[in-house]
Chains A and B, each alone.
Chain A
Amino acid sequence: MRAPVLEVENLHVHFAGRQRLFRPAMPTVKAVNGLSFAIEPHRTFGLVGESGSGKSTVARAILQLTEVTAGTIRLDGADVTHVPRQAELAFRKRVQAVLQDPYSSLNQVHQVRTIVGDGITRHFGIKPGPEREQRVLALLGEVGLVDEFLDRYPYEMSGGQRQRVSIARALAVAPDLIIADEATSALDVSIQSQVINVLRRAQADTGVAFLFIGHDLDVVRHVSDDVGVMYLGYLVEQGAADGVYDLPAHPYTEMLIASVPVPDPAAQAERRALRQTFKKEAEPPSPSDLPAGCPFANRCPVAMDICTELMPEATAARHGGYVRCHLHTSGPVLAGESVVPYIRSASAAR
């Protein structure tokens, strides 16, 4: 195994509440609480979770767009938790981003040649002109866009085409790591797979590592080698993508799997039945007022007394990764096995 491109160790990102006159300050929002993972070159790490789970905050923290409260981020072994100003350009050259909504992440007053080209100018010093144009055209080819797109404006393109431009823009500076934050979420399913193929091809060609962030475990699993499941700023389960999907050891992971519709009616009926067991009406706790125990306890169909009292430690899971859930050490003591049979029998018993 190669040395990892990116290592994140015990990452915490807290947003201090605004100070107010004559009233107590707004409470601190704890968006990310002790996250650790690593990505090797040529590989993709998927981060999955509901909205509000802190996925995008992780992306922003790595991208130096938000302040890290505690923990370490390393790029090829070098500490990049707080990149000083004079080193920022070199850092940006190595880490690029593909952001969520392709409609708002492209500047509407710029043509594709500028959108893709300005990073080339900034990082390689190639001024706008024939040479830069050649590079942009090559990049457009890589993401499957024809030469005519060079002088298109964003509003003249479809969502899928825009996202291809976003990818070309990220590839333009030849980075070692691309952070794709909900890069396919705004697209139709058929377009999603096209865009994912573009990402895959780029990875095969350049060896770029991806941090792929999404809320759809099905999509994330297909793209990723490893996945981490995030809930309220905690990684509750982590492991090989297929392992986590097939043998989910955390009830929250199972909930995410059950929430994705499948084409097979029998399987879909089963998922629907499973979905019923989760307490839909329960709201996730506020990240500014985290409970002492497991943050998922109030929505968990198989929660025990200990769950509301103690935050579970990470334990080894059958799929080779780890899981943070008391079910594996107390109660039924699943010891890292899949949680699905237990949830099923528990809900049948009720």
Chain B
Amino acid sequence: MARYIGVRLLAMVPLLFAIAVISFAIAVAMEARGSIAGSVCGEGATIECIAQVERQLGLDDPMPIRFLRWIAGAATGDLGTSLTNESVSVASLIADRIGPTLSIVTYSLVIGVAAGMAMGIVSGVRPGGAADRVLSVVSAALIAAPGFVLAMLLSWWLAVQWGWLSPAGYTRPSESITGWIRSITLPAIGLALPTVALVQRQLRSSMTNALQSRYVLAARARGIRRTSLIAEHALPNAMIPTVTAIGFRAAAALGLTFTVEVVFNINGMGTLLITAIQTRNVTVLQGSMLVVGIVVLVVNLLVDISYGLLNPKVRLES
């Protein structure tokens, strides 16, 4: 297993480099359209100002040099300073914003996978049964309606009427743990609802297949208890494709976090990225994309590891 993880880690290196190149290239593409220096100097910028700023920021250097300088800085945790506010470093900005996003995404995955698995198992054990029909309609509805809209409806009761949860804003866990949970529960639910539907559907079909397989038939003929038939024989097999689906969903949830951040007024990575794009804040954009990319890589690594845990065949082949 250690060797398997080692191989996966090594495979991340070229991916990391590709993410850095792409983050940098996208930012450079934006720069070509509206000069960075121009936006720093503001309206009615003089040529002197622009030239000075360009020299200051090293924008007049050749592209590879600029990339290497940026990547060398990034390696030491220095991602430059924000273009709209030079006193703020990009790294500290990201450090400030990544907490809420990671809490919401992780929390949403926990809710979504737990609920989706429970629903998927119930559906898959008796496909076509009453429970399965109800659950499949529910998951179709969850796929059709954007999660954050449903979360807004939920917030009417849970936050506004009954006051159990906070309707907007973010409380740091260092301030208050209960406050933190209350502040991220609704956005996490919003993000989790499509995950629930996705996991339910995937697990339903793979569970149905697993239960129809010959090894389950053989286990039934051996007299294995129904609960262990489901939990020990069918589920580990059915989880293999489901974990892949969860991995995709984790990456997608990271990209969709801005929707709930906007709806629930939370300053996270999503809103940071959107604002950076709107204000052509190239350094912030580069840095945030790099960090989000790394998070996705880590998620993929976790998926690969759990894949290896579930499927002994994968473990050996690496």
Contacts and interface: CB of A to CB of B under 8 A. Distances in A.
A343 B214 CA distance: 41
B314 to A, nearest CB: 11
B313 A155 contact: yes
A108 interface: yes
B134 interface: no
A105 B217 contact: yes
Nearest to B213: A104
A62 to B, nearest CB: 10
B23 to A, nearest CB: 39
B220 A89 contact: no
Interface stretch (B9-17, B221-229, B246-254): B221-229
Interface string B197-223: 000000000000000011111111111
Given A109-B236, A153-B312, A123 B213 contact: no
A109 B237 contact: yes
Given A108-B312, A109-B311, A65 B223 contact: no
A47 B164 CA distance: 68
B171 to A, nearest CB: 42
Interface stretch (A95-103, A273-281, A331-339): A95-103
A72 to B, nearest CB: 20
B310 interface: yes
Contacts of A93: 223
Contacts of B217: 65, 99, 105
Interface residues of A, number: 32
Contacts of A91: 223
B222 A109 contact: no
Given A109-B236, A109-B237, A104 B222 contact: no
Contacts of B224: 118-119, 122
A92 B312 contact: no
A96 B221 contact: yes
A96 B224 CA distance: 12
A107 interface: yes
A123 B215 contact: no
Interface string B125-162: 00000000000000000000000000000000000000
Contact of A92 (B213, B221, B313): B221
Given A97-B218, A100-B214, A108 B313 contact: yes
A292 B110 CA distance: 62
Given A108-B312, A108-B313, A89 B219 contact: no
Given A65-B217, A97-B218, A101-B214, A108 B237 contact: yes
Contact of A63 (B216, B221, B312): B221
Contacts of A155: 312-313
A96 B237 contact: no
Among all A-B residue pairs, the 3 with the closest Cβ atoms: A92-B223, A107-B215, A105-B214
Given A92-B221, A109-B236, 16 more contacts: A92-B222, A96-B222, A97-B218, A97-B222, A99-B214, A100-B214, A105-B218, A106-B215, A107-B233, A108-B311, A118-B232, A119-B223, A122-B225, A153-B312, A155-B313, A170-B222
19 contacts: A88-B223, A96-B222, A99-B214, A99-B218, A104-B213, A104-B215, A105-B214, A105-B218, A107-B233, A108-B215, A109-B310, A109-B311, A118-B219, A118-B232, A119-B222, A122-B223, A153-B312, A166-B218, A169-B218
